[in-house]
Structure 1
Amino acid sequence: MADARNEQELVLVVDDDPRIRQMLARYFEGEGYRVSLAGDGREMRNKLEKAHIDIILLDLGLPGEDGLSLARELRAHSDIPIIMLTGRDDVVDRVVGLEIGADDYVTKPFHLREVLARVRGALRRRRPLAALVLEAHTNETFCFEGLRLDVACRRLTSQDGREIALTTAEFDMLCVLVRHAGRVLKRDVLMDLTRGRSLEAYDRVIDAQIARLRRKIEKDPRYPELIKSVRGVGYVFSARTMK
């Protein structure tokens, strides 16, 4: 049954198989979503230029530019949720895709209702953490090690006023760590606070996100001083913060 709340949400399906594209288009349109279709990276970029896309279903097995390359390109400048469509045996590709920023995956052959559930979950998680977890603290500002984190404006700036570009997921992760400074947070807690659920056994998703964040805020990411690992448990934000 179509959900009227979905009418403004546009799903982009990127798959070189026209049968899969049409099958997904019919199903999601029947559920109240708008759907756009692309068969390769060139068409994907064209669709992204012409419309505001809410979520992308991206086949990893595309000829030419594969899905991993396109996912990496997307994550370099966009926070659009990405759900990977993968082969059953593409375990390494799934892990790599999650590490470079994809939100979820579905293995082929898939059940349409499972794809719908994954899409709905990813769209729910897209709501910024400031509205979910930090709702009562939107005026908070934290200063630490020459950096200033402005929750309301969702900005991280250096001492000289230079803005440090963070993705939505990276900003949400930093907010959680800073607000719990000095407390060791398990990976599943970080997953729940920043994404809304555990992603099966992929603790590496959190590890990869922490690694990307460290590259942006640590003086030497190889020897982190702000976000420290606690072996077998999770992470702790160890810098002193001032509001």
Structure 2
Amino acid sequence: MSQIIRRVCWGTLLLLVMPAAVWVSGWQWLPGFNEGALRALFAVTETVTSPWGAITSLLLTGWFIVCLRLRFRSGVMLFVILNAAIFAGQGVKSLIKSSVKEPRPYVLWLEERHHISPDFFYELKRKQRSALVTEQLAQESAVPAWLRAHWAFETGYAFPSGHTMFAASWALLAIGILWPRRRYLTVTVITLWAIAVMGSRMLLGMHWPMDLMVSTLISAVIVIPATYLAGRLKGGEMG
């Protein structure tokens, strides 16, 4: 168990480097970032956004099973363990969001630019928030149409970041489970993908650096027992 905790902690520190550096720098989000780069980051963030996130989970789960050469029963058990960890993270995220109620960066920008109070914005129902975003940004040249649509789709609170918890959990699962099996390329690719997802959430105006940092720490807490359970499976390299 101590080795699992050590690996997951090292992975957590790695994932925290980027948002921590942004937080320390005092960087503040504003629209107008290079649109080509934003579109690329949007494509990355969409791998987590519903419904594509479910497909990403299925693909990653399947690849974990292949990498570990598990027999059918152990493969099913691993499927349950991995996806239970992901669902648990999303459940914790929803509970915290409803309690903390932190506005997204783009919502505070709407307040400054279009004089829409965050309190007023979040008192509206989700469909009304979406309609308000679409209406207020119809003539806003600084925000491309696809980003307006993304904002209108995601009108919930900021803290913590569900996208980060999803991607960070998969990266930490890879570090905890696949690294000792020498699946270094897989671990590297999943970790870089997770960091890209985290960066996309800030640059798209959806989250603050602290959202990402706390989300990563929560993911680590959830991943440690999941990694331990996965390590007890029989029928392949994990046996």
Shorter-normalised TM range: 0.3 to 0.5
Q: Which has the higher contact order (CA 8 A, sep 6+)?
A: 2
After TM superposition, the score normalised by the length of structure 2 is 0.32
After TM superposition, the score normalised by the length of structure 1 is 0.32
Structure with more of its chain in helix, by fraction: 2
Structure with more of its chain in strand, by fraction: 1
